[in-house]
Amino acid sequence: MKIGKDVVKAARVLKAGGLVAIPTETVYGLAANAFDPQAVVGIYEAKQRPSFNPLIMHTDSLTKLRTWVEELPPLANALAERFWPGPLTLLLPRKTLVPDIVTAGLPRVGVRIPQNPLTLSLLTQLAFPLAAPSANPFGYISPTTAEHVAQQLGEKVDYILDGGPAQVGIESTIVGFESDGSPTLYRLGGIALEAIEAISGPLKRFTLSENPQTSGMLKSHYAPRVALHLGNLEELIAEFGTQNVAILSFREAVKGIERSLQRQLSPSGSLNEAAQNLFASLRELDQLPVQYILAEEVPAQGIGLAINDRLQRARFEHRQKPAEK
Ligand code: TXA
Ligand code: MG
């Protein structure tokens, strides 16, 4: 079986240069030995991801991590102590032993200690870090279950470690440190901005652009194939009608549209539950025979900011022209 809970098998595959999908609390990752450039090439190929796009290195210990980075600024250390294991990625100056293919030649490397018992137990068995992007084809919605990975990349991975549905459901928050030591937010994510700023003080914000350094900065990303429109649901329905549409709402279903064409992120109004359900709901709606997905934002606080960020990037208006072959 290609899907299972066999950590020893996963370790064996990774040591031999193979690809293993790993569960994390945010989303599933597509992992390889970060110190084996040929294995890392396999990640880019499987995802069809442009190679200018750097990967996050995952490990289980700060002690190991210190041997791979030039320095851990005091603020980075404070954030690591507070939030690891957890959905936070830090961009730190890399040592030269970190291969160029992992950082796409950039001077910093993204690192994080994920919170998932199976993956932590796997990482303790490995001397090397795991380079892992989200385990989805480039630009598509990130996977939050082993089945999501199997559906899209099943042929291309050697093993899928099944840790159940992701508990957080949205990718890690990314914080980098500039050369003057000031912290910058590169991606909203699973740790609320407020919680980080309580320790770091105000973060500079990196704005989305058409010509990004990294995919997390792409305006269009995490997108379904069906055109998604984001706004006030009543207004969207007035514009697009009730035929051929699917609805993604925060708490309440829309009256007058079949329930099987609708998903509510959290009927009880919990933002954590909404984050857990976001990507699976988008995938389900993307399977329906409809022309449009009409969606609304959630309250803009805590992890709600990251949910709205993902919804904005899933918008049809932000979809870029397909790259020329
Ligand atoms: O929660 C997560 O972060 C998941 C799980 C698997 O850990 N991983 C994930 O990886 O979302 P990925 O590759 O899909 O998104 C990571 C983002 C990308 O936008 C990448 O370009 C950016 O982090 N990134 C990674 N290393 C970087 C670096 N050295 N400098 C700037 N951006 C970096
Ligand atoms: Mg990704």
CA distance 319 to 311: 12
* DSSP-derived pairing of the beta strands 29-33 and 130-131: antiparallel
| 152 CB near ligand 1 (under 6 Å) | no
Q: Which atom of ligand 1 is nearest to the CA of 134?
A: 14
CA angle 178, 182, 186 (to 5 degrees): 65
Ligand 1 binding pocket mutation candidate from 28, 174, 187, 213 (most atoms within 8 A of CB):
174
| 270 CB near ligand 1 (under 6 Å) | no
**Peptide bond connecting 85 to the previous residue in cis, omega within 30 degrees of 0:** yes
Determine the average pLDDT of the residues in 108-132: 98
Query: Whose atoms come closest to the Cα of 185: which ligand?
Result: 1
Q: Which H/E stretch holds residue 193?
A: helix 193-200
Q: What is the pLDDT of residue 321?
A: 44
Q: Which atom of ligand 1 is nearest to the CA of 172?
A: 1
8 Å CB contact between 224 and 283: yes
**CA of 133 relative to ligand 1 center, distance in Å:** 6
Percent of the chain with pLDDT over 70: 93
Query: Whose atoms come closest to the Cα of 173: which ligand?
Result: 1
Please name the residues in contact with 27: beta carbons below 8 A apart, sequence gap of 6 or more.
134, 135, 136, 142, 143, 144, 166, 169, 170, 171, 279
| 264 CB near ligand 1 (under 6 Å) | no
Residue 50's SS3 state is: coil
**CA of 318 relative to ligand 2 center, distance in Å:** 16
Nearest-CA residue for ligand 1 atom 19 is 216
Ligand 1 binding pocket mutation candidate from 51, 55, 90 (most atoms within 8 A of CB):
55
Q: What is the spatial order of strands in the sheet that 3-4 belongs to?
A: 3-4, 159-161, 20-22, 29-33, 130-131, 56-58, 108-112, 88-93, 173-177, 183-187, 204-205
260: exposed, middle or buried (C-beta count within 10 Å: 0-12, 13-18, 19+)?
exposed
Q: Which of 167, 96, 102, 125 is nearest to 10 (CA)?
A: 125
Q: Which atom of ligand 1 is nearest to the CA of 109?
A: 29
- Give, as one character, the DSSP assignment of residue 121: H
* pLDDT tens, residue by residue, 49-78: 887 789 999 999 999 999 999 999 999 999
Q: Which of 19, 222, 3, 29 is nearest to 116 (CA)?
A: 29
* pLDDT tens, residue by residue, 132-162: 999 999 989 999 999 999 999 999 999 999 9
Distance of CA 17 to the CA centre of its chain: 23
CA distance 99 to 68: 11
Query: pTM for this one?
Result: 0.94
8 Å CB contact between 71 and 141: no
Residue with tokens 């539950």: 273
Nearest-CA residue for ligand 1 atom 12 is 133
Distance of CA 11 to the CA centre of its chain: 23
* pLDDT tens, residue by residue, 81-115: 999 999 999 999 999 999 999 999 999 999 999 99
**CA of 133 relative to ligand 2 center, distance in Å:** 6
* DSSP-derived pairing of the beta strands 183-187 and 173-177: antiparallel
Beta-ladder partners of 22: 29
Q: What is the pLDDT of residue 47?
A: 93
Q: Which atom of ligand 1 is nearest to the CA of 53?
A: 21
C-alpha distances in Å from residue 120, one per residue of 68, 117, 129, 268: 18, 5, 11, 32
8 Å CB contact between 223 and 313: yes
Is residue 209's pLDDT more than 60? no
C-alpha distances in Å from residue 169, one per residue of 113, 165, 221, 279, 310: 16, 8, 16, 7, 11
Query: Whose atoms come closest to the Cα of 30: which ligand?
Result: 1
Q: What is the pLDDT of residue 317?
A: 77
- Residue type at position 182: S
Nearest-CA residue for ligand 1 atom 15 is 133
Q: What is the pLDDT of residue 325?
A: 29
8 Å CB contact between 2 and 160: yes
Nearest-CA residue for ligand 1 atom 32 is 214
Query: Whose atoms come closest to the Cα of 171: which ligand?
Result: 1
